Amino acid sequence: MPERRVRGLKDLMRVPIRGADHEVAPEHSMDPRPSEALEIPAQRSVIDNAIYVDGRRVATPPSLSEAVTALRSRPGSMAWIGLYRPAEAEILKVAEEFGLHELAVEDAIVAHQRPKADRYGDTLFLVLRAAQYLDSPEKVEFGELHVFVGPDFVLTVRHSEAPDLSKVRRRMETDPDLLHQGPQAVLYAILDAVVDGYAPVVAGLQKDIDEIEVQVFGGDPAAPRRIYALSREVIEFQRATRPLLDMLNGLIAGSAKYGVDGELQRYLRDVADHAITVVERVDNFRQMLQDILIVNSTLVSQAQNEEMKNLTQASYAQSEEVKRISSWAAILFAPTLVGTIYGMNFTHMPELAWTYGYPFAVALMAAVCVTLYLVFKRRDWL
């Protein structure tokens, strides 16, 4: 291992842990693992540790150092080491054994990286985002996988349950001809497993969208909240899948340069085709959710407009009733006024002793009532 790389790894080992008086490096301040992880024994997270020759397992060393020794002592062999949620000390130990670049080691320690592929000399470093659909809570759970691919080794660092690399290993061990092609074949199998794992997620999201459409057209008030939550999952899924296209295209383009077998190149192109299908479906999901949200807003507006229309009609009907009542009150007020005045029984009042006083008062009241009736009728108050 070059002196600069050894010095870089040693500097990583000397990074002060949280709680110390020294300032923590920015990339380590995002580390989700507690500082006590440095004390975890280096073998705790080693899921499988195997040496392969001609596509067949020939040794399962009990420790990482013995795996390196067995690898170096067997020309043409390949080591495949799987780590699950390793502590920082474990990653640094493996990095020192295999001469991994310090920048790639930092990414593996910090985690929470976007999908990418970087090459450091003869070692390829990939970050993949796996996903699985959980039926019970109806949500998508994302995981992170780091893969180091060297000339004679493959190192996987999983930070989540998905993907299940034990199935990938069993598949490869049952196909020695494919495994015989070396680390690039293992990389293909891992990429294939990650992309195939997206299919149930796509089906689950499609099911959720179909249910949301039923909710929206059924007038469920909880639909907007579910649309928003699902939109966030789709966006996260886009971030996990879209970078895969450039990553796979880059691997395919560099296949000839790094001596990848022609058949393996065809397998990689098949994985790329599946990834394109997934990305297109996810893009469609995002557009569908935006359209559903617009439709939901339109339906809500229509319902509000219908409610306002009903309120307006009720108010208009009430106003018509008020006008009728007011009209009849005004018509009845005129004879009441005349009758009230002549009912005072004062001694000295005009027309009180007049012979035609009573007929005149009655005729006056009738004339006023008829006049008011005709006026209100003409104005459609009655």
* Residue 366 contacts residue 338 (beta carbons within 8 Å): no
- Residue with the larger pLDDT of the pair 10 and 280: 280
**Residue 182 in 3-state DSSP?**
coil
pLDDT tens-place string over residues 55-89: 899 999 888 888 888 888 888 899 999 998 888 88
pLDDT at 346: 63
Work out the average pLDDT over 314-321.
81
Q: Which two tokens stand for residue 200?
A: 């149930």
pLDDT above 90 covers what percent of the chain? Answer: 24
Spatial distance between the Cα atoms of 202 and 68, rounded to a whole number of angstroms = 40
Mean pLDDT, rounded, of the chain: 81
Spatial distance between the Cα atoms of 271 and 150, rounded to a whole number of angstroms = 21
Q: How far apart are the first and last CA of the chain?
A: 103
pLDDT at 281 over 90: yes
Spatial distance between the Cα atoms of 43 and 235, rounded to a whole number of angstroms = 37
* Residue 294 contacts residue 224 (beta carbons within 8 Å): no
pLDDT interval class at 299 (50, 70, 90): confident
Q: Which two tokens stand for residue 71?
A: 């690898």
pLDDT at 292: 87
pLDDT above 70 covers what percent of the chain? Answer: 85
Phi/psi for 24 (5° steps) reads -90, 140
DSSP per-residue string spanning 121-174:
TTEEEEEEEEEEEETTTTEEEEEEEEEEE-SSEEEEEESSS-S-HHHHHHHHHT
- Comparing C-alpha atoms, which of 343, 226, 329, 202 is closest to residue 274? 202
- Comparing C-alpha atoms, which of 190, 4, 6 is closest to residue 98? 6
pLDDT at 45 over 50: yes
pLDDT at 6 over 70: no
- Fold adopted by 1-178: Beta Polymerase; domain 2 (3.30.460)
pLDDT at 18 over 50: no
* CATH number assigned to the domain with residue range 317-378, chosen from the 4 options 1.10.760.10, 3.40.50.2300, 1.10.8.60, 1.20.58.340: 1.20.58.340
Spatial distance between the Cα atoms of 129 and 140, rounded to a whole number of angstroms = 12
- Comparing C-alpha atoms, which of 34, 50, 49, 48 is closest to residue 88? 34
In b/e form, how buried is each residue of 353-382, taking b as 16+ CB within 10 angstroms? eeeeeeeebeeebeebbeebbeebeeeebe
pLDDT interval class at 21 (50, 70, 90): very low
Please report the sign of the dihedral spanned by the C-alpha atoms of residue 149, residue 154, residue 155, residue 156. positive
pLDDT at 75: 87
**Residue 349 in 3-state DSSP?**
coil
Q: Which two tokens stand for residue 115?
A: 């999908």
pLDDT at 136 over 70: yes
pLDDT tens-place string over residues 232-241: 999 999 999 9
Q: Which two tokens stand for residue 172?
A: 């490869």
pLDDT at 53: 92
pLDDT tens-place string over residues 81-112: 999 888 888 888 888 888 899 989 888 888 77
- Residue with the larger pLDDT of the pair 124 and 328: 124
* Residue 64 contacts residue 94 (beta carbons within 8 Å): yes
pLDDT interval class at 199 (50, 70, 90): very high
The angle subtended at Cα 46 by Cα 45 and Cα 47, nearest 5°, is 100
Domain spans in the chain, listed from the N-terminal domain onward:
1-178, 317-378
Work out the average pLDDT over 290-308.
80
